[in-house]
């Protein structure tokens, strides 16, 4: 097993990884920007190295600085967390070339799944159903118009190198498509440095269902059931639950087998997530994330498996030591993403936390790096806390989330706590009747002056 792991990330996920290391008796190295000197994971780590100024490009994406920090602290392995360098195949390769273990998949698998056009082609070869699409990138507006004609409107313009819901545009007809292509292309170039676009049939009422898989790269493959991440705003997940209230056991077994067969076939190693849209009983693969996900805790709660611990064990050469038959999925878990953002404009709300009280009690888990007096820096993602609750039944879980949200106090900055509290009294949500477009309608209906 590793003696020392360097955590190449920040915020709640860095803390989550640090906690897993501590419980495994592994020393930790935090790397941080000058804006994060007082961050919780920096305070708790055995060693900390400042790797640059606040701008991510100069710190959390600064590969030479991170590799140097690993060298001088004598770390054995690097955990990339999520975001930043987690899905950068070149980084994974460089980590290994410098003699460190990369706690994640092989560079080849990261590369394959990182290009969504290639990933969908691979998925199709592996027997996964996919949303009808342009079958490759569309280089020109003419090619896009032809493809859209074949697929049928509405279509969704997506970036091949996309992520985080960025670079996506809906087009309901040829006129809209021309504009959508030009906006999406410049967005894709700015955000991902790759302006390749493709088209997909735009589904009007899908749910986002994703399968968590774990592979040891030595033949051991399991899934930990699905997560329903349909509660989204601007294509970004806000609430996730496991298991999905929309699937039955038969559908779960079906999609679980498809997902595990696919990753077994390619010899995948590590944790990963296959994302699907689900509409009228049919599944459509959209992408695979070759990393830990923000919403991994809900799968941990219903499966009893510590996914981060398993990532570390696998990277150290361990085998799973259990099979699908050993995975017992029980109870229900829900995660609320608490963002530092203005409740109406959704603009980021960084600043000093002057009051902090996290909920507790039975079945409540809070993954957060906040503390009273901490200053949320303006340079990074607005996620500041994840409230995860477990219940024997979905109903018990919902009541617990509602109770825990009422206890949560985050003072000094704006957050979306109020939105979560409102959600937890909405009948559609409580009944599990929602699709990926539902939250946008809900938010609009709540605006001052809206009917209803």
Instruction: Give the residue numbers annotated as catalytic, written as ranges.
Output: 291
Segment contacting ligand ADP (CB under 6 A): 91-99, 198-206, 324-332, 363-371? 198-206
Least distance between ligand ADP and beta carbon 187 (Å): 11
Say which residue the tokens 């993403």 belong to.
337
* CB 18, CB 30: distance < 8 Å: yes
User: Which residues in the 118-137 window bind ligand ADP by CB under 6 A?
Assistant: 131
Count of residues that interact with ligand ADP, criterion CB under 6 A: 20
Least distance between ligand ADP and beta carbon 87 (Å): 10
Least distance between ligand ADP and beta carbon 231 (Å): 10
Question: Which strands sit side by side in the sheet containing 197-201, from one edge to the other?
Answer: 169-171, 155-159, 197-201
Q: Which residues pair with 406 in a beta bridge?
A: none
Segment contacting ligand ADP (CB under 6 A): 160-168, 261-269, 343-351, 364-372? 160-168
Q: Residue 272 interacts with ligand ADP (CB under 6 A)?
A: no
State the Cα–Cα distance between residues 212 and 346, nearest whole angstrom.
29
**In the set 109, 208, 337, 394, which binds ligand ADP (CB under 6 A)?**
208
User: Binding string to ligand ADP for residues 279 to 318, with x set by CB under 6 A, is what?
Assistant: -------xx-------------------------------
User: Binding string to ligand ADP for residues 233 to 262, with x set by CB under 6 A, is what?
Assistant: --x---------------------------
Segment contacting ligand ADP (CB under 6 A): 145-153, 180-188, 194-202, 410-418? 194-202
- Cα angle 434, 387, 86; round to 5: 90
State the Cα–Cα distance between residues 228 and 438, nearest whole angstrom.
13
202 or 390, CB closer to ligand ADP?
202
**In the set 100, 102, 202, 390, which binds ligand ADP (CB under 6 A)?**
202
**In the set 87, 200, 310, 414, which binds ligand ADP (CB under 6 A)?**
200
Least distance between ligand ADP and beta carbon 224 (Å): 19
Which residue number places its CB atom closest to ligand ADP? 436
Least distance between ligand ADP and beta carbon 138 (Å): 15
Binding residues (CB under 6 A) for ligand ADP: these are 131, 156, 162-166, 200-203, 206, 208, 232, 235, 275, 277, 286-287, 436
């Amino acid at each position: 097993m590793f003696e020392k792991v360097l955590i190449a990330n920040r915020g709640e996920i860095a803390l989550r990884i640090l906690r897993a290391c501590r419980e495994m008796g592994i020393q930790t190295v935090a790397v941080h920007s000058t804006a994060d000197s007082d961050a919780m994971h920096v305070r708790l780590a055995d060693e900390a190295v400042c790797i640059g100024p606040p701008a991510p490009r100069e710190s959390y994406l600064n590969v030479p600085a991170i590799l140097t920090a690993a060298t001088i602290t004598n770390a054995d392995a690097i955990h990339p967390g999520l975001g930043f360098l987690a899905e950068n195949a070149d980084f994974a390769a460089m980590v290994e070339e410098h003699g460190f273990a990369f706690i994640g998949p092989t560079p080849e698998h990261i590369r394959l799944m990182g290009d969504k056009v290639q990933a969908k082609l691979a998925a199709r070869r592996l027997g996964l159903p996919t949303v009808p699409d342009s079958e490759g990138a569309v280089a020109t507006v003419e090619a896009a118009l032809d493809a859209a004609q074949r697929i049928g409107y509405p279509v969704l313009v997506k970036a091949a190198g996309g992520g985080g819901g960025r670079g996506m545009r809906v087009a309901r007809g040829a006129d809209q498509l021309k504009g959508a292509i030009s906006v999406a292309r410049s967005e894709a170039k700015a955000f991902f440095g790759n302006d390749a676009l493709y088209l997909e049939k735009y589904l009007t009422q899908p749910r986002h269902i994703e399968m968590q898989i774990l592979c040891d790269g030595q033949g051991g493959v399991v899934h930990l059931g699905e997560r329903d991440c349909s509660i989204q705003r601007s294509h970004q997940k806000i609430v996730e639950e496991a298991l999905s209230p929309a699937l039955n056991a038969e559908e779960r077994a079906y999609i679980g087998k498809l997902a595990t067969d696919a990753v077994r076939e390619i010899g995948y190693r590590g944790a990963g997530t296959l994302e699907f849209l689900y509409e009228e009983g049919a599944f459509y693969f959209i992408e695979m994330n070759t990393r830990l996900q923000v919403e991994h805790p809900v799968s941990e709660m219903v499966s009893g498996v510590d996914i981060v611990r398993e990532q570390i064990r696998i990277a150290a050469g361990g085998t799973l030591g259990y099979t699908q038959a050993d995975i017992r999925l029980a109870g229900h878990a829900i995660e609320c993403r608490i963002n530092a953002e203005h409740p109406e404009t959704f603009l980021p709300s960084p600043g000093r936390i002057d009051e902090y009280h996290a909920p507790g009690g039975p079945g409540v888990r809070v993954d957060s790096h906040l503390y009273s007096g901490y200053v949320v820096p303006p340079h990074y993602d607005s996620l500041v806390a994840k409230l995860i609750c477990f219940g024997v039944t979905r109903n018990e879980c919902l009541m617990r989330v509602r109770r825990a949200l009422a206890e949560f106090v985050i003072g000094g900055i704006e957050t979306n706590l109020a939105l979560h509290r409102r959600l937890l009294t909405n009948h559609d949500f409580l009944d599990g009747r929602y699709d990926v477009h539902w939250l946008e309608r809900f938010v609009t209906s709540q605006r001052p002056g809206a009917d209803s």
